[in-house]
Amino acid sequence: MRAMTLRAPGPAESEPLALAQVPVPEPGPGEVLLRVVVCGVCRTDLHVVEGVLPVHRPRIVPGHEVVAVVEQCGPGAERFSPGDLVGAAWLHRSCGQCAHCARGSENLCLSPLFTGWDRNGGYADYMTAPQDYVYALPRNVPPRDLAPLLCAGIIGYRALVRSGVRPGEPLGLYGFGGSAHIVIQVARHWGCPVYVCTRGERHRALARELGAAWTGAATDTPPAALRGAILFAPSGDLVPVALRALDRGGTLAIAGIWMTPIPQMDYLECLFQERAVCSVTANTREDGRALLRLAGEIPLRTTTVEYPLEQAGRALVDLKRDRINGAAVLRVSPDPP
């Protein structure tokens, strides 16, 4: 089968991914073999490829926004049947035994495994996944539109919850890529006015199209005090900017797995009056189920740019250089009937 493997971490422009022919994996106990249809391209993939995230598995196959068809069920795997349309996401498996898992916080598991970092992901014709960490997907939505929901959507939803915003309250979004263009739809469904701060007029235009109450540059001050905000851009310089835009008691949720250093902040200006800042770490399966329920209820629509599997490297460079309006997806096989 075809697989885009990481030869060695390096700048995306240096083509660290290489197309290889590798054996089709065998599903183990409780696992399913998936024939990949499309795979979203996430900024975390870029961090894996460029070595911002340390190597966990040599020659890893990235990709964790996977829409696929069940090809085969391993021993004891009875939740799905061959032909089912399913999704695989960033959380490949949690231990289920540590204190965090026991209280339902599997995203904080002490020994997790992640798709496309610890286990081969969706930049390939086939991959395997534990059946308990795979999501059933609807057939009436095109696979390329579903792919961004499986990480950008799930993480964005968790960040929205962590921001503490309630229906009708003003929300700020800093950065407007694959995740933010899904979150704004959920927030608008909740009746929240959304204020978008991002570089690039293309992104601001998409935000307005999706119902933003106001758009501005990344460092601009929104015209209303924010009850909550989400920082999607991996720029630590924007943390104090976003905190200054919060109302008293507001919360800033930082959605990235990595970001540049946060500069020194003035306490009275940025944090006093019970303003808060929190991080967002991975996701739980319940986050995924909740987001997918909302996807059908709203319904969510995604803006995608499609690349063939062999051009995964180009997609990552385009993502890095902010050329993608919405989310990028890799086409691996034709849509199922």
Judge contact between 182 and 153, C-beta under 8 A: yes
The mean predicted confidence, pLDDT, of the chain is 96
Can you say how many angstroms the Cα of residue 22 is from the centroid of all Cα atoms in its chain?
A: 27
The residue-averaged pLDDT of 46-65 equals: 97
Superfamily (CATH H level) for 153-279: NAD(P)-binding Rossmann-like Domain (3.40.50.720)
Name the DSSP letter for residue 125.
S
| pLDDT 10s digits, 75-89 | 999 999 999 999 999
Confidence of residue 90 (pLDDT cuts 50, 70, 90): very high
* CA separation for the pair 209, 212 (Å, rounded): 7
Please, what is the end-to-end C-alpha distance for the chain in angstroms?
Answer: 22
pLDDT-above-90 percentage for the chain: 95
| pLDDT 10s digits, 4-33 | 999 999 999 999 999 999 999 999 999 999
Confidence of residue 263 (pLDDT cuts 50, 70, 90): very high
* Tokens of residue 173, six digits: 């979004």
Rounded to 5°, the CA angle 85-141-122 comes to 50
Judge contact between 321 and 200, C-beta under 8 A: no
* CA separation for the pair 9, 316 (Å, rounded): 13
Q: What is the pLDDT of residue 43?
A: 93
Helix axes 180-189, 152-162, angle to 10 degrees: 50
Confirm or reject CATH 1.10.10.10 for domain 2-150+302-331, answering yes or no: no
The residue-averaged pLDDT of 186-207 equals: 96
* CA separation for the pair 144, 89 (Å, rounded): 15
Q: What is the pLDDT of residue 256?
A: 87
* CA separation for the pair 53, 9 (Å, rounded): 9
* Tokens of residue 48, six digits: 């894996």
The residue-averaged pLDDT of 225-248 equals: 97
Phi, psi dihedral angles at 172 (to 5 degrees):
-110, 140
The 8 Å CB, 24+ separation contacts for 81-85 are 83/336, 84/136, 85/37, 85/136, 85/137, 85/138, 85/139, 85/143, 85/336
Nearest of 115, 155, 156 to residue 31 by alpha carbon: 115
| pLDDT 10s digits, 197-223 | 999 899 999 999 999 999 999 999 999
The residue-averaged pLDDT of 319-335 equals: 94
pLDDT over threshold 90, residue 45: yes
Q: What is the pLDDT of residue 77?
A: 98
The residue-averaged pLDDT of 234-245 equals: 97
pLDDT over threshold 90, residue 103: yes
- Between the CA of residue 220 and those of 172, 204, 328, what are the distances in Å? 11, 13, 27
- What is the location of CATH 3.40.50.720 in the chain? 153-279
Q: What is the pLDDT of residue 191?
A: 98
Judge contact between 163 and 230, C-beta under 8 A: yes
Q: What is the pLDDT of residue 31?
A: 98
Rounded to 5°, the CA angle 228-162-184 comes to 60
Judge contact between 219 and 243, C-beta under 8 A: no
Burial level of 88, CB count in 10 A (0-12/13-18/19+)? buried
Judge contact between 87 and 68, C-beta under 8 A: yes
- What is the location of CATH 3.90.180.10 in the chain? 2-150+302-331
Q: Which helix (H) or strand (E) holds 188?
A: helix 180-189
* CA separation for the pair 213, 137 (Å, rounded): 32
| pLDDT 10s digits, 128-167 | 999 999 999 999 899 999 999 999 999 999 999 999 999 9
pLDDT over threshold 90, residue 325: no
* Tokens of residue 235, six digits: 């720029």
Q: What is the pLDDT of residue 146?
A: 96
Neighbouring C-alpha atoms within 13 Å toward the C-beta of 142: 11
pLDDT over threshold 90, residue 326: no
